[in-house]
Structure 1
Amino acid sequence: MSTLNPVVAIGDDILDCLSRLPKGAYQKAAKFIMRFRSDPRSSGINYERIQNAKDDNLRSVRIDQNLRGIVLAPEKGNVYVLLWIDNHDDAYKWAVNRMARVNVASGSLQVFSVDEKSVKAEPKKEEAKPGLFDDLRDRELVRLGVPEELLSVVRKINSEADLETAEDSLPPDAYEGLYLKAAGYSYEEVMAELDRKDEDSGVASDDFETALQTDESKRKYWVADDEEELQRMLDAPLEKWRVFLHPSQRKLVERDWNGPVRVLGGAGTGKTVAAMHRARWLAEHRLTRPADRILFTTFTSNLAADIQENLRAICETDQLQRIEVVHLDAWVSAFLRSHGESRSIVFPGSNEKLDGFWTEAVTNYGSELGLETKFFQDEWSAVVQANGVSNRDQYLRAPRIGRGTRLDRKKKADIWKVFEAYRARLDEEGYLEPDDAYRLAREILESRPSTLPYKSVVVDEAQDMGPEAFRLIRALIPEAEDHPDTNSMFIVGDGHQRIYGRRVVLGRCGINIRGRSRKLRVNYRTSEEIRKWAVSILAGVPIDDLDDGADDERGYRSLFHGPAPEIANTKNQANEFERLGAWVGELENEGFSPKDICIIARDKRTLRLFENHLRSEEIATVEIKRRQAEDRRRQGIRLATMHRAKGLEFMAVALVAMNDGVVPNVLAIRAAPDEAGREEVIDAERMLVYVAATRAKKRLLVTSSGKPSEIIDFEGAK
C-alpha cells in the first residue's frame, strides 16, 4: 500500500444522496464521510469489488447493515472519490453500469452511465434522419467533453429532444458543450464560450489526482482537504453552490482583474453565487491590512439581508468580518450623517408629500403645457436626475433617448420652471431624493482624500441601479494614475430582471469594462420547462447589457428537466382558491415541505387575500417581509410579493391572481403619460413576472380568476 498521503474527494451527488436519507441513516453516513476523509485506508473501511461492474476501479464500502457507499479507488495512484450513497441493492444498481474516466482533452474526471444499448450503434436505415452533430468529427466531440465510450450514443442523436433525453447518460461538461452546439453555436464558438482549448489537456488518462484539480472537475468533485469545511458542509443545509462552482463561475471568481468586471446572466445562472464567492476569495487572498474591507452592495435591503445570511454559510468568521454587506441607500444615509448632513432621504413613489410637491409645481407652472403630472415625474427621473442636471441650460442639452413625447426647446424651457418649483419645495422641507444623496456623497468623496477602507466593491443586481449610483460607486474606488485599478469592482446584473425601471451605461459613469465583460448561460436553479415559459413572457421586450449594448438569451439553458408549468384561468376567486389548495395538497402528498412552497402575488393587498384563505383552511403560512432575511427554520408555506421574492428560490412556486388590472398594474397603466410610457410599464411588468416565475426550481403554478392578464397566454396553455 502506498505511503503517500491519500487524495480524498467528495462528489456533488453525495449531497443529493444525503438529503434523501432518514435522520438516523444520515447521521451514520455523515460519520462515515468524516472517517473516510480522515483516512480512507483505515482498517475499518472494507473495499469490495462490484460484480459485473463496467469499471474495475469502482468499489463498494459498508456504512451500516443496509447502507453502502460507492468509491472510485483506482489501483494506480492514491485517489479515493466518494461518488454515491444508497441502500445496498440500489447502490450496486447505480454502480454496475458506471464508468469513471479522465477526459484527456479537457483533463476532467467524468463519471457516466454506459449500458450495452448505449455503446452499440444501431445500423442506419436508408432514410434515417441526419444526426444533430454530423458536422463534427469524433475528435471534436471528444474536445467538447464527450467520452469516447459515448460517441456512438451522441451519433444517434437527431434532435434537441433526443439530446435532452440523453442528458442523464452524458457528463455535465459534455452535455453543456453539445447543448450550445445544438443552440446554433459553431464548434469554435462553443470552445470559446466554454474557454476550452482545441488540444489535449496534458492530463494522462490514468492521472486521476491531477484531473481532480481542473476547473471542470471542481464543478462536480471537492477535494476534502479541509476537515472544518467538510463538517460545516455536513451540518448546514445541503446546498451545492456553497462548494461546487461551475468552471465559468470559478474563472470569474479566483483570479485578478486589471479593472472593473461586468457579469451578465439570466435568472438562476449563479450571478449572486459568483459575487459572494468573489467577495470571499478577495477577503481571503487579496486583503493585506487588518483594516482592509470589501464592500458588498445591492439595491434593496431585502437582498442585502439575504446575501448577509448566505455569506455566513460560506465564510469563516474572519472572512465575514472583512465583508461589509449593505444596500446602497443605507450606506449613503450613514455616510452623509457622518459628514453632518441633516436632510432626510425620501423615495419617489412612496411618499405622499412628494406627490403633493409635484401637484403644486404642475398647477402653478405647468398647467398650460398639456402634460400629465406623471410625465413631469418620469422626465425628472429619467432625464434630470439620471444625467445630474442642475440648471436649465444643462436640461436643454440633455439627451432624452427613449422618451416618447417630443419636446421643442421652448417647451423644455417651460418644463424647467416646474422642475425648479419642485426642487425648491424639496429644499424647503429638507429632503433629498436618492439620486441627490448619491451625488452629494460622491462630491464629498471627490473633494478630499479618501479614508474609506474599501479595496474592492462587489455589486449585485446592478440592473436596478441608475447612473448616479454607479458614479458614486466609481468614487468609492477611484481610478488614479498612481495606483492600479486591479480588482476594483465586480458588477453582476441582468437587464431581463430590471424591476425598478432604472437604466445605466457603465462607460458613462467612469467604469470601463472593455475586455472584462463575461456572461453566465447555465441555469442551475430552474427546470428547463419553467425557464422556457418564463423567457416566453419577455418575447419582444428589448433588453440592454448595462453598457449601451443589447443583450439576449442565446445559449441560456437549464441543467435539469421537470414538469411543465401548470397554467389555470378559473371562473372566480373561489375556484382559484380551490385550484391552489388542490395543488398544495398534491405537493405535500409528493413529499414537498411547506417551507419549500411559496405563493407569490403582485402586491400586498392581493397577497393578504390568499393568506386569509389559507389560514381559514388551517394551513400554516410565513410571510417573507421587507428588510428581513427569510428564516428557514420556521414551518409553513411562504408568502411573498413579486418584489420581495427577488433573490429567493423555492422548490415550488404559485403565481396567483394574475388577473387583468392586477398584472399589469392598472394604476400604473393609467398614469403613463404617453404610449411609450405605457409600453415601458408593460415591459416592466413582464420582467416582474419573469423574476417571480424563475424563483421556482421544479414546480410552477400560474392562476387567475375572471379576466386574465394580457401578458400571459392562458388560452395557449390549455
Structure 2
Amino acid sequence: MTTLVWANKQQKLDKAVKAKVYDFLDKLQTNDALPGLHIEPMQKPVDARVRTGRVDQQWRAVLFKVPQKDDVAYFYMGTWNHDEAIDLARKMTISVNPVGGFTEVSYVEEPETDDEDVVVEPTDTADTLSLLESWGYTLEHLTDQLGLARATARAAAAAPDEEALLEVAVRVGGWQGEALGYLVDGLSIEDIREKFGLNTPVEQDADATEDEKILRGLEHPTAQAAFAYIEGQEELQRVIEAQDFGAWRVFLHPEQRKYATAHYNGAFRLSGGAGTGKTVVLVHRARNLWRENPQARVVLTTYTRNLADMLRANLQQLDPGVPIASKLGAPGVYITNIDALVSQVLKEAGTEISTAAQQVLGRPATHVTSRPDGDTWETAISAAGDGLPDNLRSPSFFAAEYAMVVLPRRVVSRAGYFSASRAGRGVALNRALRSKVWSVIDAYRASGKVFSKVDWEESVAIAAEHLTLSSMSGHLADHVLVDEGQDLTPVRWQLLRALVAEGPDDLFIAEDSHQRIYGQRVVLGQYGIRIVGRSQRLTLNYRTTEQNLEWAVGVLSGADFSDVEGDAATVAGYHSARSGPSPALVPCNNDAAEFDEIAARIRGWLEAKDVEPEAIAVLVRSNRQAARVVSALGERGVDARSIDGHAKIGTGTPVVLTMHRAKGTEFSKVVLAGVAEGAVPAAVGSEKYDADAYEDAMLRERSLLYVAATRARDELVVTWSGTRSDLIGAKS
C-alpha cells in the first residue's frame, strides 16, 4: 500500500471538496496506478518528484512522489484550483536541510545565482549597515548555522530595519520565518538552533540516495512539525474532516514536542501567552505518558468545566485510542475540572472525611455539601466586627483572608492565626487587628457549625487534607497535568499536590499569569510545589495576527504582573508569525449606534462568505449585556445566539458570549463590544479595602480584556459608546 505523508498546510475547503479529496487520497493509498487519479509529472518543474493528481475537473492535488524500499511515499501538499495547483507545483521542491538533516519543502521563484557571481561590497559606515549587519550577523550565520535557504538569507540580510525583516519572516513562513522572528526578538543564533533542534541533526548515511535521505529526514522534530504519516483510512478521514488539523493535532513545533515528550525530575512549569500552544503540549503529553505506560493514572485538569470539555474533545480527536478514565484512580487519562475532581474526592471519602474536616475547621463534619447563605460573611461582621476599621468591614477582605491564609494553613484557633504567615496579603494587621479579624472568622465558622454548612473553599481544603492523610496508603494518580494554572487557589494546589507523590513527572503545569481572570496571586513554593529550575516559556503565538497580538499586549502595559514562582511575568519576545489588518477601534455616540456598527460588521463578514457564521463572535463583559446584544442584533436583521454556562458553541450562526466564557475559544472575527468606562473594568469597589487588593482586581480586569482580544485569529473590532475604557487608553 502507498504511504501517505500529510503536509501541515492549513486550507479551508468546503465539505463537497473535502469529500472528493478524501476519496482521491483513499484511492491513492490503495493503488496509485488507478487511471482516474491522473498522477502526472510536470513540465519543467524545479523538482522532478512533484506530481499533480485529479481530485475533479476543477481541483488538483499537489504531491511529491518519493520511492522507498518496498513501495512509494506520496507527500500530499494540498489541493488547489487547476491553474494555481500547476503553478505552485512547478515551483515546489523537497530537500534535506544541510544543517539539521531534516526534510523541508520550499518554493523557488527564480533560479538561484551562483555564489561566485555574488560580490558583497564592504560597507564603510554604520549608516549603510543592514539591520542584521549592525547586530553582527553575516549571510553565513543565516545559511551555515541556521540552515536558512540562501534566497531567504539574502532577503533577511538586506533588510534595513525590524519592520522589513519581519516582512521577510511573514512572507517566508514556516520554521525559517519563525527563526527570523526570533532574531528580531533578540534571541541568539545558539538559542534558535536549540529551539529547532539544529544541535541534534538527523544522521544521514553518506551513501544514501536523495530519496532515502528525504524519508530519513522526517525523523527530526522540525520535519515532524511540517509532515505527519497518515496510517490507514480511519486516520485519513479524521484528517480530512478536522477543521483545524494542521494547527495542533499532529504538527507540534520542535520546542512544543520537547515539552510534550521530555521527562523531568519533579514538577515542571510551562508558561506562555495566549495562543502559544500550552494546551496543545498538555494534550500530547497526556497521550505520550499513557503510551509509555498504559497502566498509568494520568489526571488532566483545569479550572472550568468548559475548558475540561475542550481538553477531552482534543485528546479524543488526537488519538481515539487513548482510554478516558471514568473515575479518579483508574488507569487511563482522567479529565475533569478541578472542582468536579474535588466533588469526587469528597464522595469517595465517605465518613472518613470527618477526620479531615477536624484538621481544617477544628470540628468534625461528615456532611460537606450544604452551602451557607451568600450573606454569611456580612452577618458575621455585624455580629463580631466591633472595632474593625471601615476598610476591613468588607466581605471581600474576609473571603480572601480565609482562602489565602486561614484555610491553606489549617488555622483553627486564635493563637494559630496570630502565628500564621500572611505573606503577600498586602494589608497589614497588628496583633490587635488580628484578634478582631479572628473574632469574625470564628463567628463565621460558628454559624457553619450551627447550621451544618460548609462553604466551597472549605470543602476543597477538606478534600485536600483527606488526600494528604490518605496518601500514606497510596496516591490516586501517577501524573497530574494542569491547564490554566494561574486561576487556581492555594487549597486547590494543595489538593493537586496531595494527588500525586513527589517524584519524576509528577506535576506538569501550564499557566500564563497575564491570563489570570479568577482568584488571587499565588506562589506555588508556599504549597509544596517546587519548580525552581524546571520552568520554560513559549513565545510564538499560533492563533492571532501580529497586529491583534500587539494591541492585546498593549492592554497589559503599565501594570506589574507576577508569575506562580513569585517572579515578574514578562511578555518580552512574545510574537506571531502571521500578519493581518490592524484592529479597528470604533467609538459610537450611543448604544443604538454601537449596535448598528456591530450588525453592519457581521453582515459584511457574512456576505463576503469567507468565514463560517460560527467563526464570528461578539464578546461582552456580562450575561446581561450579552442578552441585550443578541436582542439588538435580531432587531437589525442579524441572527445571533447567546452562549452561556456550559452550552456548546455549535454551528450556523454568529455567537455572543461573555469574556469569561470565551476563555479557551477562538474565532476568525471578533467584536469586543461595550468596552466603555464603567463597564470595562467592571466595578471593583469591593476590593478597595486595601490598595494591593484593588490593584490585583484591576490586573484581573486587564487580563480579561487581554484574553478576550486574543480570541481573534484574523480580525478584531473594538466598539464602545460614550467614553472609552481607560484600559485601552488612546490606542488606535
Using the size of structure 2 for normalisation, the TM-score is 0.88
Q: Report how far residue 42 of structure 1 moved.
A: 5.4
**Deviation by residue 1:205-237 (Cα, 9 ceiling, x = unmatched):** 931001112110111111123432222222343
Identity, % of aligned pairs?
30
Consecutive unaligned residues of structure 2, counting only runs of 5 or more, are 326-331, 354-365
Find the residue that maps to 1:212 and give its secondary structure.
Answer: helix
What amino acid maps onto 2:27 in structure 1?
R
Mapping of residues 555-570 of structure 1, within 5 Å: 555-570=573-588
Aligned counterpart for 2:311 among listed residues 300, 307, 311: 307
Aligned counterpart for 2:107 among listed residues 107, 110, 113: 113
What amino acid maps onto 1:372 in structure 2?
R
Aligned twin of 2:132 = 133
What amino acid maps onto 1:107 in structure 2?
G
Contact 2:623 2:644 in 1 (8 A): no
What amino acid maps onto 2:646 in structure 1?
R
Q: Report how far residue 536 of structure 1 moved.
A: 0.6
| Comparing 114-123 and 360-369, the one that deviates more | 114-123
Q: Distance in 2 between matches of 1:217 and 1:200?
A: 10
Aligned counterpart for 1:67 among listed residues 59, 72, 78: 59
Mark the CA change 1:285 to 1:268 in structure 2 (over 3 Å): closer, same or farther.
Answer: same
Q: Does 2:380 correspond to 1:360?
A: yes
Mapping of residues 429-508 of structure 1, within 5 Å: 429-448=451-470, 449-450=472-473, 453-479=476-502, 485-508=503-526
Aligned twin of 1:482 = none
Aligned counterpart for 1:607 among listed residues 614, 626, 643: 626
What amino acid maps onto 2:654 in structure 1?
I
Q: Report how far residue 166 of structure 1 moved.
A: 1.7
What amino acid maps onto 1:415 in structure 2?
V
Contact 1:664 1:681 in 2 (8 A): no
Find the residue that maps to 2:375 and give its secondary structure.
Answer: helix
Q: Distance in 2 between matches of 1:465 and 1:203?
A: 51
Contact 1:357 1:425 in 2 (8 A): no
Q: Report how far residue 678 of structure 1 moved.
A: 2.2
Contact 1:655 1:701 in 2 (8 A): yes
Contact 1:530 1:565 in 2 (8 A): yes
Mapping of residues 599-638 of structure 1, within 5 Å: 599-628=618-647, 630-632=648-650, 634-638=651-655
Mapping of residues 579-658 of structure 1, within 5 Å: 579-591=597-609, 592-628=611-647, 630-632=648-650, 634-658=651-675
Aligned counterpart for 2:153 among listed residues 151, 154, 173: 151
Mapping of residues 157-176 of structure 1, within 5 Å: 157-170=159-172, 172-176=174-178
Aligned counterpart for 1:327 among listed residues 332, 337, 340: 337
| Comparing 490-499 and 412-421, the one that deviates more | 412-421
Mark the CA change 1:685 to 1:169 in structure 2 (over 3 Å): closer, same or farther.
Answer: closer
Q: Does 2:292 correspond to 1:285?
A: yes
| Comparing 363-372 and 324-333, the one that deviates more | 363-372
Aligned counterpart for 1:28 among listed residues 16, 20, 23: 20
Q: Distance in 1 between matches of 2:283 and 2:535?
A: 18
Aligned twin of 1:208 = 214
Contact 1:299 1:328 in 2 (8 A): yes
Contact 2:275 2:544 in 1 (8 A): yes
Mark the CA change 1:452 to 1:44 in structure 2 (over 3 Å): closer, same or farther.
Answer: farther
What amino acid maps onto 1:651 in structure 2?
S
What amino acid maps onto 1:8 in structure 2?
L
Q: Does 2:384 correspond to 1:372?
A: no
Find the residue that maps to 2:520 and give its secondary structure.
Answer: coil
What amino acid maps onto 2:659 in structure 1?
M
Mapping of residues 212-361 of structure 1, within 5 Å: 212-240=218-246, 241-288=248-295, 292-321=296-325, 322-338=332-348, 339-340=350-351, 342-344=366-368, 353-361=373-381
What amino acid maps onto 1:210 in structure 2?
R
Q: Report how far residue 76 of structure 1 moved.
A: 8.1
Find the residue that maps to 1:272 and give its secondary structure.
Answer: helix
Consecutive unaligned residues of structure 1, counting only runs of 5 or more, are 480-484
Contact 2:316 2:322 in 1 (8 A): no
| Comparing 130-139 and 180-189, the one that deviates more | 130-139
Q: Does 2:519 correspond to 1:517?
A: no
**Deviation by residue 1:248-271 (Cα, 9 ceiling, x = unmatched):** 221111243332221111000111
**Deviation by residue 1:50-77 (Cα, 9 ceiling, x = unmatched):** 2343333322223322322221225787
Contact 1:384 1:395 in 2 (8 A): yes
Contact 1:467 1:503 in 2 (8 A): no
Q: Does 2:422 correspond to 1:400?
A: yes
Contact 2:303 2:485 in 1 (8 A): yes
Q: Report how far residue 462 of structure 1 moved.
A: 0.6
Contact 1:118 1:152 in 2 (8 A): no
Find the residue that maps to 2:726 and give its secondary structure.
Answer: coil
Mapping of residues 66-85 of structure 1, within 5 Å: 66-74=58-66, 78-85=72-79
Contact 1:293 1:454 in 2 (8 A): yes
Q: Report how far residue 123 of structure 1 moved.
A: 7.6
Contact 1:104 1:200 in 2 (8 A): no
Contact 2:626 2:642 in 1 (8 A): no
Q: Distance in 2 between matches of 1:367 and 1:354?
A: 24
Q: Distance in 2 between matches of 1:490 and 1:356?
A: 37
Q: Report how far residue 169 of structure 1 moved.
A: 4.5
Mark the CA change 1:363 to 1:663 in structure 2 (over 3 Å): closer, same or farther.
Answer: farther
Find the residue that maps to 2:478 and give its secondary structure.
Answer: strand
Mark the CA change 1:570 to 1:117 in structure 2 (over 3 Å): closer, same or farther.
Answer: farther
Contact 2:287 2:322 in 1 (8 A): no
Find the residue that maps to 2:557 and give its secondary structure.
Answer: coil
Q: Report how far residue 126 of structure 1 moved.
A: 8.0
Find the residue that maps to 1:412 and give its secondary structure.
Answer: helix
Q: Distance in 2 between matches of 1:318 and 1:96?
A: 41
Q: Distance in 1 between matches of 2:225 and 2:149?
A: 17
Contact 2:414 2:438 in 1 (8 A): yes
Q: Distance in 2 between matches of 1:255 and 1:368?
A: 53
Q: Distance in 1 between matches of 2:410 and 2:193?
A: 43
Q: Does 2:547 correspond to 1:532?
A: no
Query: 4+ runs of 1 displaced by more than 6 Å?
Result: 117-128
Mark the CA change 1:200 to 1:210 in structure 2 (over 3 Å): closer, same or farther.
Answer: closer
Aligned twin of 2:85 = 91
